[in-house]
Copies of this chain bind each other. A is one copy, B any other.
Amino acid sequence: MLIIGELINTSRKLISEAVEKKDADYIKKIAIDQVEAGANYIDVNCGTMIFDEVETMEWLVNTVQEVVQVPLCIDSPNPKAIEAGLKIARNSNGKPLINSITGENERYSEILPLVLNYKTKVVALCMDDNGMPETAEDRMAVAQNLYQRLIEAGVSEDDIYFDPLVKPVSTGDKAGLEVLDTIKLIKENYPNVHMVCGLSNVSFGLPNRKVLNQLFMIQTMTMGMDSYILNPLDKSMMGAVQGSQTLLGKDSYCTGYLNAHRKRLYE
């Protein structure tokens, strides 16, 4: 299970303030807290800093790497910022993860060389130049095309993380179901690739969003998703991640569950 800590993102006010002030201690604390809470990747996203994203990415990657030994998820719409992060990302911590490539021709041709040159893992969004698909079958068609191109280019199955793209259930009753069906289709066709998503989109526009996000985590994991971009400091969510793993037969003698209990994740 890959837990990608999502907190170091300049779209969050406290992070953006820390970045403005070059408050390295705050960034380091958030990195350490996430790893201690169970994150095995740290997402670094400063996409809101449109005028100095490259320099900010470098500063963030260096700052985070000073204190944690996990690999980074380099997350940006801007290929130059991604490359700046990859250049200094420490491979000894494990392969960095690029977030993200898509089936859009321009994006694909910009990101693929970074995946190959820096030997990274990559999140592959199920969208292309026709936009974001609605149905599971349409998402599968995009995934199929991306899979073939990535494998032919030399990317290994184990380095591909398909993101089915989660839309709000408030704008379409079947939005969650189509994602669950997409996971099923992708796992049936490509059992060795990984699947990842963020959760919060699903609850957009509805009350009690944390409840819905957590329910959707459990549902997607049941269907075979094995990686999440989430807030690892959310004890209830992390308790649900561990408990779900235990019930899915991935926790020998329930030791992970009992450890989570001792860490008071269920209080």
Using a CB–CB cutoff of 8 Å, the interface residues on chain A facing chain B are 169-170, 173-178, 180, 202, 206-208, 211-212, 215-216, 218-219, 222-223, 239-240, 243-244, 246-249, 251-254, 257-258, 261, 266
Q: Determine the chain B residues whose CB is within 8 A of the CB of A266 once the complex forms.
A: 207-208, 211
Chain copies in complex: 2
Q: A215 touches which one: B173, B178, B218 (CB < 8 A)?
A: B218
Whether A261 pairs with B222 at a CB distance below 8 angstroms is: no
Whether B169 pairs with A247 at a CB distance below 8 angstroms is: yes
Whether B180 pairs with A246 at a CB distance below 8 angstroms is: no
Chosen A-B contacts, 19 in total, with CB atoms closer than 8 Å, are A169-B247, A170-B254, A173-B249, A173-B254, A177-B248, A178-B249, A180-B222, A206-B254, A206-B258, A207-B266, A208-B261, A211-B240, A212-B243, A212-B246, A212-B247, A212-B257, A215-B243, A219-B247, A219-B248
Q: A174 touches which one: B175, B206, B211, B249 (CB < 8 A)?
A: B249
Give A258 to B203 CA distance when docked, in angstroms. Answer: 12
Q: How far is the CB of A259 from chain B (nearest CB, A)?
A: 11
Whether A239 pairs with B218 at a CB distance below 8 angstroms is: no
Q: A247 touches which one: B176, B254, B257, B258 (CB < 8 A)?
A: B176
Whether A215 pairs with B244 at a CB distance below 8 angstroms is: yes
Q: How far is the CB of A145 from chain B (nearest CB, A)?
A: 26
Whether B176 pairs with A215 at a CB distance below 8 angstroms is: no
Whether A248 pairs with B207 at a CB distance below 8 angstroms is: no
Q: Known interface pairs A169-B254, A208-B266, A254-B169. Does A215 touch B202 (Cβ–Cβ under 8 Å)?
A: no
Q: Determine the chain B residues whose CB is within 8 A of the CB of A223 once the complex forms.
A: 222
Whether A216 pairs with B247 at a CB distance below 8 angstroms is: yes
Give A202 to B246 CA distance when docked, in angstroms. Answer: 11
Interface centre among A175, A211, A212 (most CB of B within 10 A): A211
Whether A169 pairs with B246 at a CB distance below 8 angstroms is: yes
Whether A206 pairs with B173 at a CB distance below 8 angstroms is: no
Give A251 to B169 CA distance when docked, in angstroms. Answer: 10
Q: Known interface pairs A169-B254, A222-B222, A266-B207. Does A248 touch B212 (Cβ–Cβ under 8 Å)?
A: no
